[in-house]
Amino acid sequence: MRYRNLLLFCALAAVWGSAFMAIKAGLGSAAAPAYFYDAPVLFAAVRYDVAGAIMLGYAAWVTDRWRPRTRPEWLVVGIGAVFLIAGYHALLFVGELGTTSAAAAVIVSLSPVLTTAFARAFLPEERLTVVGLVGMALGLVGVVILSRPDPSNLVGSRFEALVFGAALCFALGSVLTRRFETDLPIETMEAWSMVGGALLMHGISLGLQESVEGLPPLRETVALVYLAIVASAAGFLIYFDLLDRLGPIEINLVSYVAPIFAALTGFLFLGEVIDAPTVVGFLVILAGFLLIKRRAIREELARRR
């Protein structure tokens, strides 16, 4: 069982890490624009059209509650759709237009740190200690190292700022969905959040007047299928399984293994360079996470011993 969990954990990190490369493959860059370069939000929306349909079918198959029924349940779904799906992915996909797969993955790995900070803000009885505040500061420093903002050219670092905004959306959405706890199965919540988030992103795409012509080429089609079926549908199924077996503390560590796969796949498939600031930023963010979660990690290690 231990080896099974380890294999699934590595598979999840690989799938979610390589998703950053797949996003970049579908978008391209200013120097080499791909099919979805001028329609990044539409790219994200189509991804969750497919993933949402698959997850909805899965929820109907494995649970006895395939749709929300009460107002609190629809509220949780709405929070998930707005923050976890639409807000996170719209900002992430636009942000990846101007940054590498590895850098985006590292910035997103700040989400567990931000989630802890938001939890403390919305739950007044819980406060960050001095060490926790240092950990939070380290996480933010890591993002600054990655984005390397130039005061005379802040526009140049706007893409990293958008990815950071995506991490903020995901962290806030994670906390709010936990605050309004219901009996709705997590599979059902995720499925309807994906469907609602996809609809919201289609609306945003229309507002931005995004459009594409013709069918996507093979590379972009493969990237879209991989994101929708492998990274989203299959990835979340593995996530649900590991969440039950490992708990939220250990599953959070996926965020810190995923950038390794993002960097490797970005280098192998897209020729992206893994620079020193990316590595340093990752290590600083990881140090911040370890400081904030030091007690929980220590208790988990003691329990397993």
β-bridge partners, 28: 33
At 1-42, the pLDDT tens digits run 557 887 998 899 999 999 999 999 999 998 899 999 999 999
Q: Where are the alpha helices (DSSP H) in 180-275?
A: 186-207, 218-225, 235-246, 248-252, 254-270
d(CA 105, CA 97): 14
Does residue 138 have a pLDDT over 70? yes
Which pLDDT belongs to residue 154? 43
Which pLDDT belongs to residue 157? 59
Q: DSSP strand E in the chain: where?
A: none
At 211-265, the pLDDT tens digits run 999 999 999 999 999 999 999 999 988 988 887 777 666 677 788 888 889 989 9
Q: Which segment, 24-38, 111-125, 268-282, is predicted with the most confidence on average?
A: 24-38
Positive or negative: CA dihedral 81, 84, 88, 93: negative
Whether 282 contacts 142, CB under 8 Å: yes
Which pLDDT belongs to residue 113? 79
d(CA 111, CA 183): 25
Which pLDDT belongs to residue 259? 87
Whether 298 contacts 137, CB under 8 Å: no
Instruction: Find where tokens 């594409």 sit.
Output: 212
CA–centroid distance for 171 within its chain: 9
Give the pTM: 0.87
E strand or H helix at 21: helix 2-27
Other C-beta atoms closer than 10 Å to the C-beta of 70 total 11
Whether 138 contacts 126, CB under 8 Å: no
